[in-house]
Amino acid sequence: MPEGDSVWKLARRLDRQLAGHAVVRSDFRTPRLATRDVAGRTVLGHDTHGKHLLTRLSGLAGSPAATLHSHLRMDGSWSTLAPGKRLPGRVQPHVRLVLTLDDDRTVHGIRLHDLDLVPTDREHDLVGHLGPDPLREDWDADEAVRRLRADPALPLVTALLDQRRMAGLGNLWANELAFLVGVSPWTPIGDVDVERLVGRAATMLQHSATVDGAYQVTTGSPVRGDDHWVVGRQRFGCRRCRGPVSTAEEVAGDAANRFTWWCPACQPGPGPEARVGVRPGAAAARPRRSSRSSRDRR
């Protein structure tokens, strides 16, 4: 699932594939950018802030350096193809951007969301609202703590999903962190040791992004089905106590209330009735598979 570590790893892959290469042709297939052209610019590299990808391009005569901004949400991807290779026909309608490089490779942005092209010195207009990101050099743990504490009544999982407070944590990390803290996902954030929570979250996200074999593993075991404490384990039970894992459906279109997993035995505290902005009875726990389609506060 695309979270901050997913996008960070994507940026490193794209650096290896694209950095230093010039764009000889560009084709934006989204109405707002249809007339824009980045041909002649060189790919300088990639940066991330939370779940946002920033592709930096060199300037041209009379035109400043530019940044191509994209958000993957749940279904976006980037694909680099060797000369003469083509994407499958079923994917073609979803292509939003094609870049042809100086070695005849083609780069396809597929199902990209929030696609923007701005001068690099205006990146802040697009990502300035985001909270501190543990995967950035300017990571500020104290600021993340301050922002998470700003609304102490907010449920833990809701606060962690709000990218304006701390960027990069998605639904998997929010649910697993609630388990590791030992409280219900809907425990007020003010009742939690936020400094310890932020430290653990940062360490886990950094470990996931940078250590081979550790990607989105929260238990220490990379074996599929054994890599998470509660997420995806509604059929298998809690990895710690082996008791049942409960789930609560997402609230459609509500970024604060995603599909949630928790172990009632290991995570005491409020149930889904404490969800923010949800009428009583609308978020009953259900022991079945998720259909995770709603968006984070990006």
Residues designated catalytic: 2-3, 51, 258
Can you name the residues that pair with 116 across neighbouring β-strands? 69
Q: With CA atoms as reference, report the closest residue to 4 among 183, 116, 127, 154.
A: 127
3-state secondary structure 53-84: EEEEECCECCECCEEEEEECCCCCEEEEECCC
What angle in degrees, to the nearest 10, is found between the helix axes of 194-210 and 4-18? 30
DSSP letter assigned to residue 233: -
Token digits for 10?
């994507």
User: How many residues appear in the chain?
Assistant: 298
Task: Report the alpha-carbon distance of residue 35 to residue 39 in Å, rounded.
Answer: 12
CB–CB of 54/123 below 8 Å?
yes
